[in-house]
Amino acid sequence: MTGAERDARTFEEAVNALPLIDHHVHGAFRVSLNRVAFERSITESDRGLAAATTSFDSQLGFAILRWCAPMLELPPHSSPDEYLARRAELGPEETNRRLLGSSGVSHYLVDTGFATGDLLDLQGMAASSGGHAREIVRLESVAEEVAVGASADGFAKAFLDRLHGRLENGAVGTKSVVAYRHGFELDPARPEPGAVTRAASAWLAAIDAGQRVRLTDPTLLRFGLWSGIDAHLPLQIHVGFGDSDLHLARANPLLLTEFIRHSEPSGTPILLLHCYPYHREAGYLAHIYPNVSFDVGVAVNYVGTQSAQIVAESLEVGPFAKQLFSSDAWGPAELHYLGALLWRRAFSTVVGRWIRSGDWSLTSALRVASLIARENAERLYGL
Ligand SMILES: [Zn+2]
């Protein structure tokens, strides 16, 4: 074995043993899932499955049968029926314990703002995984919580009081889903207080008239974003790939360029989440603007064995000190487990190739692995 080959193998072992900080994730299901529910939670589509198709016929489905089956004491490449029968036999608690407990994640930074009814809460995630869990506060959810019962004049104060209460209670960052609610073609400037009150007045009147409580008003969305900037904690922004609530073209992070420029003097870190298929655009923004970092979570799961390609592309112009690990898992603990496993495999494959060719030293490779696996998150979130 050559020295470079030995280094590449040492590197692979080190990456497998690295404790990860999953900086954007949701809870795991604490309930049992029938086949339809499971299949619906391994696709980002919220439409019914097309006739005669199964979500298992996908990179993610194949990755579950390959990598999660052995965790349930089944052979790799078991059938979906065998897999789901064994999963049902073990039950949600044991399935979560095995999959979360084996992912090597020391900290989950959990977005608590979306469809949490059937999911483990922070304590549940910590207990099932044996790690730590901290909260990320979703700005639009805070607005929706205080909208019921607020007056137009009192909305801004009620929102800020609720937000700061959550942040003082141990949350480590904020998150915006403006991509889902409007898209990034927003006026980048901070809205005037009068404009916020007028927008709140119109929104609260619509809620009184029976409209569903869902924040889509661009002025109030901007107010939320700027409140995140003012909080001086990392502001996560959903970018790219997501369900059909999203118009993908309006979730291109380049549309955030003016907002990034406006918010730059604050020094508040902006974390572009997921980013696929705009991870190269995100890498560019992280390259140019000191306050921008990014991840390729969720894509790594959905592209399965192609994840080495996504990770390689993220390591083009994206600075190494401005990339973080995330799974963006929501629901089945398979997604939490695979997010970690596929990222480790992808990172080892890509960087291992550069060690073998002599382009990267083992020392530099180990340092970059540690930055992306946890040190960048420790620094940005103050963990
Ligand atoms: Zn997410």
Closest CA to 254 of 278, 237, 270, 233: 278
Ligand 1: centre distance to CA 288 (Å): 25
Categorize the per-residue pLDDT at 229 as very low, low, confident or very high, splitting at 50, 70 and 90: very high
Q: Give pLDDT tens digits for 30-57.
A: 999 999 999 999 999 988 788 889 999 9
Q: How confident is the model at residue 105 (pLDDT cuts 50, 70, 90)?
A: very high
Q: 170 in the Ramachandran plot: left (φ > 0), alpha (ψ -120 to 50) or beta?
A: left
What value does the mean pLDDT of the chain take?
96
- Distance (Å, whole) CA 55 – CA 40: 7
Residue 52 phi, psi dihedral angles, 5° rounding:
60, 25
**Residue 177 CA to ligand 1 centre (angstroms):** 9
Q: How far is CA 310 from the centre of its chain?
A: 15
- Cα of 146 vs centre of ligand 1, distance in Å, is 22
User: Is a pLDDT exceeding 80 seen at residue 116?
Assistant: no
Ligand 1 centroid to 272 CA: how many Å? 11
The Cα–Cα gap between 119 and 112 comes to 10
Q: 337, 99 in Cβ contact below 8 A?
A: yes
Cα(24) to ligand 1 centroid in Å equals 6
**Confidence at 88, pLDDT banded by 50, 70, 90:** very high
Position 1 scores a pLDDT of 82
Instruction: Write out the two tokens for 373.
Output: 């696996």
**pLDDT one-digit tens code per residue, 365-376:** 999 999 999 999
pLDDT tens digit sequence for 266-275: 999 999 999 9
Task: List the single range of 54-68, 114-128, 260-274, 347-361 with lowest mean pLDDT.
Answer: 114-128
**Rounded mean pLDDT of 87-106?**
97
Range 144-166 average pLDDT: 95
In 3-state terms, what secondary structure has residue 174? strand
- Please tell me the distance between residue 178's alpha carbon and the centre of ligand 1 in angstroms: 13
The structure tokens listed for 76 are 């790799």
SS3 content of the chain, % helix, strand, coil (to 5): 55, 10, 35
Which pTM does this prediction carry? 0.96
Distance 113 CA to ligand 1 centre (A): 10
| Residues that place a CB less than 5 A from ion ligand 1 | 328
Tell me the two tokens of residue 193.
Answer: 């207080």
Banded pLDDT at 262 (limits 50, 70, 90): very high
Indicate whether 149 pLDDT > 90: no
How remote is the CA of residue 145 from the centroid of ligand 1, in Å? 19
Distance CA(297)–CA(324), nearest Å, equals 9
Contacts of residue 277, Cβ cutoff 8 Å, sequence gap at least 6: 240, 241, 299
Q: Which has more confidence, 115 or 22?
A: 22
Q: How far is the CA of 193 from the centre of ligand 1 (A)?
A: 30
> Which tens digit of pLDDT belongs to each residue from 177-220?
999 999 999 999 999 999 999 999 999 999 999 999 999 999 99
Least confident among 71-80, 112-121, 124-133, 345-354? 112-121
Classify 150 as helix, strand or coil.
coil
- Report d(CA 194, CA 314) in Å as an integer: 42
Residue 114 pLDDT: 76
The residues near 178 (Cβ < 8 Å, ≥ 6 apart) are: 140, 184, 186, 221, 224, 225, 237, 238
Nearest to 253 by CA among 232, 269, 274: 274
**Maximum Cα–Cα distance across the chain:** 73
| Cα(380)–Cα(267) distance, integer angstroms | 11
For residue 119, give the DSSP letter: B
